[in-house]
Amino acid sequence: MSTRTVDWTALRRRAEQPAAEGLRERKKRLMRQQLSDTATEMFMERGFDAVRVSEVAEACGVSEKTVFNYFPTKESLLLDLGEATMDALRTVLTDARLSPVEAVLAILSDELRSITSWLAAQDDATWAEAVFLRFGMLIRSTPSLRAYQRDMADRQVALAAGILAERTGTSQDAPEPQIAATALLGLWPVQFQSLGRHLGQGLTPDQLHRAVSADVGRAARLIDSGLRTFGAAAKTG
């Protein structure tokens, strides 16, 4: 890891990189990416707790205050892509042409494609896969990162519950949108666990995408029938 630099920006969903934006917006987006990418590289190299935010700021040539203007916490420097998932939920889950499961599977497939496309672009597949495994290990071995990840998941569930409630004309506090949102967001850990399980098995990026998508699809089918009757059930509850 220390001899190579990961292009973390290449893993971001294309939706985060607008085709048309003003100079000010572009500078802010690039600074945010630089801060997150630099911090991620430092955390991966030295460990999360061993790196101070002031060191990330110095490496990027900005003040520590500037870092916190972009990221409210140290943890969000590493786990910033959760916000991209929030944005995708606001856009895709609100699309009435898609069932809730179809919408979530579309988001997950897009996120997975970003990963497998990056893997396909690397010269050393073993090194690239090791990067992902180390990233996951860093999160699992750091209590504050696990706590932040749980908090982000709670925020995503709350957002999804609100969207589902609006789609079905029910209250967000009703049990149906709450359990439906929890089930849908549960597909994210299924995808990441499947990705970790299939990495290192010699699969091509396309094969990896198909294998992980198949696992996620199996899990989705378990909740799809219930979610398809969710609207009617909520209105009669």
Domain boundaries along the sequence of the chain: 8-74, 81-236
pTM score, two decimals? 0.85
For the chain, what is the largest distance between any 2 Cα atoms, rounded to a whole number of angstroms? 61
Q: Give the position of tokens 């709670």.
A: 154
Q: Which fold has domain 81-236?
A: Tetracycline Repressor; domain 2 (1.10.357)
Superfamily of domain 8-74: Homeodomain-like (1.10.10.60)
Q: Give the position of tokens 């009703």.
A: 174
| pLDDT computed for residue 15 by the predictor | 43
Encoding tokens for residue 171?
A: 């209250």
Q: Give the position of tokens 């699809």.
A: 217
Encoding tokens for residue 9?
A: 């920006």
Which of 92, 131, 107, 108 lies closest to 10 in space, CA to CA?
131
| pLDDT computed for residue 162 by the predictor | 97
Low-confidence ranges of the chain (pLDDT < 70): 1-20, 230-237
| pLDDT computed for residue 24 by the predictor | 87
| pLDDT computed for residue 226 by the predictor | 74
First to last CA, the chain: 54
| pLDDT computed for residue 18 by the predictor | 57
